[in-house]
């Protein structure tokens, strides 16, 4: 992603292990998406 640096914190303790898609939106416009893999 381009632009100023930022930070997003997301507590994933309640999520089951697996693969998720993380999407960064502004309004309804998709800026970026990436895969998040949770393993326990």
Cα-only R_g, the chain = 12
CA distances from 3 to 28, 29, 31 (A): 18, 16, 11
Per-residue H/E/C for the chain: CCCCCCCCCCCCCCCCCEEEEEEEEECCEEEEEEEEEECC
pLDDT at position 28 over 70: yes
Query: pLDDT at position 19, please?
Result: 98
pTM summary value: 0.68
Query: pLDDT at position 2, please?
Result: 62
Q: What is the pLDDT of residues 5-27, one digit of tens each?
A: 777 788 999 999 999 999 989 89
Residue 22 has, within 13 A of its CA and on its CB side, a CA count of 11
């Amino acid at each position: 992603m381009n632009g100023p640096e930022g930070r997003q914190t997301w507590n994933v303790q309640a999520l089951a292990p697996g693969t998720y898609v993380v999407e960064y939106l502004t309004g309804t416009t998709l800026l970026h998406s990436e895969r998040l893999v949770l393993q326990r």
